[in-house]
Amino acid sequence: MNNYHFEEHHLLLRDQVRRMVEKHVAPIASEIDENDRFPQELVEVFGDMGLLQLWVPQEYGGPGADLTSVCIVKEEIAKVSESAALLAANNSFGLVLPILNFGTDEQKRHYLGLAAKGRTLTAVAITEAGTGSDVSSMKTRAVKDGASWVLNGGKIYITFGPVAHFILVFARTSEGKGANGISAFLVDTRTPGFSYGKLDRKMGIRGVPNAPIFFDNVRVPEENMIGPEGQAFKTCMRILDLNRPTIGAISVGLAQGAIDAAIGFGRERKQFGQPIAEFQGIQFMLADMQMQTEAARCLLYDCTRMADRGEWASFSAKSSMVKCFCSDTAMKVTTDAVQIFGGAGYMRDFPVERFMRDAKINQIFEGTNQIQRLVIARDMLRR
């Protein structure tokens, strides 16, 4: 097996996560999806292993994982459940990465120390009813009032919103051109005036609660602003660059899980007196699926190695390539896996049906793949 230039600690982590997945995640993966149940028990399992708080530096009590480690964890878990994989390093986008990159010393001491305990769940609130890829059209407002900011408005499709302890909320604080004038706030969900609506009914990633959230004169202390006032779009883009490879990792895990399932089924399912895996048509499909997944995996870990070495010059475009290519690959591979299963693949009795439904969201969130292609092309033309 190609170890993608992994160091010894990466390989040890991979083996530990594989054992954990077999014991704690695989037995409940189907049930989580069937009942659309948030697996609260995994919060404790992941937190105790340091998987919930992966990116928290050691100086604040966390594991201090690099991007390669985070992606290894997410890939391994996603082989059996994307919903569980999304829970790993849950607080990275909503708390750890923005505070690490843009927070004050006091914010780092307080919030990173809290996250290091492995029980803190977070969410990110950007999307609104009229604001998806067009962040500059944001309507949620924050108005300064003494030593606080008062938030009013609403967001939709907020992943983990109903179970989050803190939500990183993006709101307009002034009328600037384009995305200028947008600020970021860390909102405690126990704050009066915060509420969330009816849970979204989703095609995939069932068990990951999504819901609209609302702010009715939510008062946020001024020290909860993350980064400079009015410059949060830059904060958002920087964190997205770091987080997009993790979606690539989940996509690679999904694709590999679908391949493994298809191989097992192909060996057992017999037609015309022999296993269907003996037919050249099935073998060609399997070969293409593995080639595409291996290419995605190589691109993924080339990107994570860049980040871990601090090579930022072309990282944004490479991050977009990873997210786009890996998620497109996962969609194709999981669809092919369903085809190999035939009619059985369309039934919920087999995991490939769930893998295919889960794969679709990876082409949409963290920036649609059409947006990723714009980022890549503009970087090419700029150079």
* Closest to 181 (Cα-Cα) out of 143, 233, 235: 233
Pairing of strands 122-125, 166-172: parallel
Paired strand residues for 211 = 158
Q: What is the DSSP letter of 123?
A: E
Q: Name the residue type at position 51.
A: L
CA-to-CA distance for 64 and 60, rounded, in angstroms? 9
Question: Which are the catalytic amino acids?
Answer: 366
**CA separation for the pair 250, 261 (Å, rounded):** 16
Helical (H) or strand (E) element with 178 = none
Q: 275 forms bridges with which residues in the sheet?
A: 270
Residue 199 · residue 210 · CB < 8 Å: yes
Joined tokens for residue 286:
């399997």
Q: The tokens of 166 are what?
A: 């803190």
Other beta carbons less than 10 A from residue 321's beta carbon: 23
DSSP bridge pairs for 216: 152
Q: Are 220 and 149 in contact (CB under 8 A)?
A: yes
In whole angstroms, what is the distance from residue 124 CA to residue 15 CA? 31
**Which letter does DSSP use for residue 139 in this model?**
-
Name the phi and psi angles at 361, rounded to 5. -65, -25
d(CA 171, CA 42): 32
